[in-house]
Amino acid sequence: MFKGSMVAIVTPFKNGKIDEKRLKALVKFHIENNTSALVPCGTTGESATLSWAEHERVIEVVIEASEKRIPVIAGTGSNSTEEAVMLTKQAAKSGASATLHVSPYYNRPTQAGLYQHFKAVAECADIPVILYNIASRTGVNIEPETVARLAADCKNIVGIKEASGSLEQMSRIRALCHADFALIAGDDSLTLPVLAIGGTGVISVVANIVPKDVAHLIEAFEKGNLKKAQILHYKLLPLVKAMFIETNPIPVKTAMGLLKLCEPDLRLPMCAMSAENVEKLKKALKDYGLTQKE
C-alpha cells in the first residue's frame, strides 16, 4: 500500500476558504496520472494554518473524491499528543487508509518522549501509522534506534517518511527495521537513491505538477530499468530544485497557479513569492516543457 509516487497534495484556497471543488479536481488529476496514494494535510497542505474543522474536512473531501481508488494517508501529526490522537481517531472514522505523523515540533522531546508520543498515537486507533522525520522543521531527529523500537513494539507503525537528507541514517533504519517496514523518501531529489537502498517510494512535492513523471521514475526502477530511472531523475532535478527556492509550499503553489491547476493562494505566514524567484520558477517550468496558461 505504501509505495510508489505518493503526493503531498496541496490544500487549494479561494477567497480565504478551502476550495473543495478544486481539491476534488486535483484528486481526479492524480488518479488519472498514476499517483499511488494521496497525502492531505501535510506540510505541503499547509496543515499548520488549518483549523481543526478545516483539517478534518480536507481529509474527508480527499477520501470522498478518491472513492477508494487509491489509498489516502491523512496527515494527523501534532506537537500535542492529545491533538494528534484526536485527529487520528477522526481520520480513521472518516475512512483514511493510514495516517502520517510528523515528530512533535517546537517542544523538542527526547527520544523517550518521541517513543511514548508515537506509541500513544499507534494505540489510539486501529489504523496504519507512518512516522515523518524532518528535523529541519521540527528541531528534533527521530533516531534510527527509536524508529526500530517503534516498528518492533507497535504493529501498526508500518513505515517512515524520511526527510533528514541523510542516506546513512536511512540505511541504518532499513538495516534495523523488519523487512516489511516501509522506508519512504521525503525529499524529491533523493527518490532514486532511497529506492536504491531499499525504499518503497516517495511522498512527493513535485508530483503536484508532474505526477506521471515521478510515477514513471519509480516504475522504471522497480522494473529494473535503471537507465530510464536515471534519465527521469536528472530530468526532474532542476524542477525539484525550483520547488524549494523559497519555503515549501510557496513555489509549488505558485507553479500550480501558473499552470492553472489551482489558485496560488497561501495563508500567512506563507506569503507570495518574490518577483525575482517567480521569474526563476517560470524559467524552470519552461525548461521542463510545462506550458504556463493564461
124 neighbors 88 (Cβ within 8 angstroms) = yes
> Grid cell 523488519 — which residue?
178
Q: What is the pLDDT of residues 64-75, one digit of tens each?
A: 999 999 999 999
What is the domain extent for residue 35? 4-225
Could you tell me if residue 70 is inside a domain?
Answer: yes
Q: Which of 3, 14, 89, 132 is catalytic?
A: 132
For residue 246, is it left (φ>0), alpha (ψ between -120 and 50) or beta?
beta
Specify the number of domains making up the chain: 1
Answer yes or no: is 258 within a domain: no
In this structure, what C-alpha cell is assigned to residue 4? Answer: 510508489
Structure confidence at residue 293 as a pLDDT band (50, 70, 90): low
**End-to-end C-alpha distance for the chain, whole angstroms:** 38
pLDDT tens per residue, range 44-87: 999 999 999 999 999 999 999 999 999 999 999 999 999 999 99
**Which helix (H) or strand (E) covers residue 86, if one does?**
helix 81-94
What is the greatest pairwise CA distance in the chain? 53
SS3 257: helix
Residue 102's DSSP bridge partners are 132
- 146-152 long-range contacts (CB < 8 A, ≥24 apart) are 146/111, 146/114, 146/115, 147/173, 147/176, 147/177, 148/173, 148/176, 148/177, 149/115, 150/115, 150/118, 150/119, 150/122, 151/177, 151/178, 151/181, 152/177, 152/178
Mean of the per-residue pLDDT values for the chain?
A: 97
Domain membership of residue 184 (yes or no) is: yes
Does the annotation mark 234 as catalytic?
Answer: no
- Quick check: is 136 in a domain? yes
The amino acid at residue 104 is P
Judge whether 257 lies within some domain. no
Q: pLDDT band for position 107 (50/70/90)?
A: very high
132 is catalytic: yes
**What Rg do the C-alpha atoms of the chain give, in angstroms?**
18
CA pseudo-torsion sign 199, 201, 204, 210:
positive
Query: Domain for residue 285, yes or no?
Result: no
| From 161, 227, 253, 282, active-site residue | 161
pTM of the model as a whole: 0.96
User: Is residue 262 situated within a structural domain?
Assistant: no
Residue 140 CB neighbours (<10 A): 19
**CATH number for 174:** 3.20.20.70
Assigned domain for 271 exists: no
